[in-house]
């Protein structure tokens, strides 16, 4: 039942940032076509060649000042500002476009390029533009700085909190995610168990597209903007 105080939980993936010029992962020319996941997005890869991994994230961090939030990011911020009910964004993306687009409640379940993490003590701090392997932690001073990004095989952040939000969702929306990576790909099933109305925004059906009750097909900058306008007009 959708009403004026509905709780809306939104999962986003690389596709929402595609129109801002940030490559997705599994497109033909995507990030995983240019880099072996095993080399740049696993703890083993980091142990094997920390400089390769740190430079991979340095290059993605250096791109951020050159890209802007697009209409889809701004539409989600407008929804959060104007809707009476709670609006929660859970992103798999490590860019900062949701925040720069105006969203206030954003959970980065795969981490964020803008922060650094100490592998020794767990301290986080604003990442330098260029991180080097062995950079010291400003808290414990161990030479243990790493990108604050969740790699394959590691557990995403805040899972208990995210599953609580899903259990309270009246509307669950997934935008620009291929549905290939768990636990994010399982969120729609959780939301449906909670009785939420589910909508997928994508260029095509994702791997879990059949779990969604509604589909809005096309570029997120148009489909998300149109849906928010419709929803707020009631």
Residues near ligand NAD (CB under 6 A) are 37-38, 41, 110-111, 149-154, 156, 180-184
In whole angstroms, the minimum distance from the beta carbon of 117 to ligand NAD comes to 12
Q: Which residue lies nearer to ligand APR by CB, 14 or 228?
A: 14
Q: Rounded to whole angstroms, how far apart are CA atoms 21 and 206? A: 21
Cα–Cα distance measured from residue 127 to residue 30, given in angstroms and rounded to the nearest whole number = 24
Q: Is 82 annotated as a binding residue?
A: no
Minimum CB separation of residue 59 from ligand NAD in Å reads 14
Contact 37, 117 (CB under 8 A): no
Task: Please tell me whether 146 is known to bind a ligand.
Answer: no
Binding site for ligand APR (CB under 6 A): 13-15, 18-19, 24-27, 30, 92, 110, 176-178, 180-181, 201-204, 206, 219-220
Q: CB of 129: closest distance to ligand APR in angstroms? A: 22
Q: Is 177 labelled a binding residue?
A: yes
Give whichever of 68 and 158 is closer to ligand NAD, judged by the CB atom. 158
140 is in an annotated binding site: yes
* Beta carbons of 182 and 150 less than 8 angstroms apart: no
C-alpha dist (Å) from residue 58 to 38, 147, 164: 18, 9, 33
If contact means CB under 5 to 8 A according to the sort of partner, which of ligand APR, ligand NAD, none does residue 6 touch?
A: none
CB of 202 closer than 8 Å to CB of 175 = yes
User: Which residues are designated catalytic?
Assistant: 110
CA-based nearest residue to 133, from 146, 116, 115: 146
3 state SS for 144-210? CEEEEECCCCCCCCCHHHHHHHHHCCCEEEEECCCCCCCCHHHHHHHHHHCCCEEEEEECCCCCCHH
| Residue 172 binds which of ligand NAD, ligand APR, none (CB < 5-8 A, kind-dependent) | none
Cis omega (within 30 of 0) on the bond before 77? no
- Binding partner of residue 38 among ligand NAD, ligand APR, none, CB cut-off 5 to 8 Å per kind: ligand NAD
Q: Nearest to ligand NAD by Cβ — which residue?
A: 110
Q: Which helix (H) or strand (E) holds 75?
A: helix 71-82
87 is in an annotated binding site: no
Binding residues for substrate: 57, 60
Binding residues: 13-32, 57, 60, 92-95, 118, 121, 137, 140, 176-178, 202-204, 220
Binding residues for Zn(2+): 118, 121, 137, 140
């Amino acid at each position: 039942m959708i009403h004026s105080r509905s709780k809306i939980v939104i999962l986003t993936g690389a596709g929402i940032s595609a129109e801002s010029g940030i490559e997705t992962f599994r497109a033909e020319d995507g990030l995983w076509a240019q880099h072996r996941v095993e080399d740049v997005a696993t703890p083993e890869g980091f142990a094997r060649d920390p400089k390769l991994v740190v430079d991979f994230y340095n290059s993605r961090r250096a791109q951020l000042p050159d890209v802007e939030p697009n209409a889809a990011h701004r539409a989600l911020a407008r929804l959060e500002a104007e809707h009476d009910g709670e609006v929660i964004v859970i992103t798999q993306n490590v860019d900062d476009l949701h925040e720069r687009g105006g969203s206030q409640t954003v959970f980065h379940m795969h981490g964020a390029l803008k922060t650094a993490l100490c592998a020794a003590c767990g301290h986080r701090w604003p990442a330098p533009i260029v991180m080097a392997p062995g950079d010291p932690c400003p808290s414990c001073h161990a030479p243990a700085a790493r990108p604050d990004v969740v790699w394959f095989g590691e557990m995403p952040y805040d899972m208990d909190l995210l599953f609580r939000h899903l259990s309270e969702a009246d509307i669950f929306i997934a935008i620009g995610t291929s549905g290939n990576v768990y636990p994010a790909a399982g969120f729609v099933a959780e939301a449906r168990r909670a009785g939420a109305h589910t909508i997928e925004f994508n260029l095509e059906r994702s791997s879990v597209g059949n779990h969604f009750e509604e589909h809005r097909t096309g570029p997120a900058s148009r489909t998300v903007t149109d849906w928010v306008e419709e929803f707020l007009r009631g």
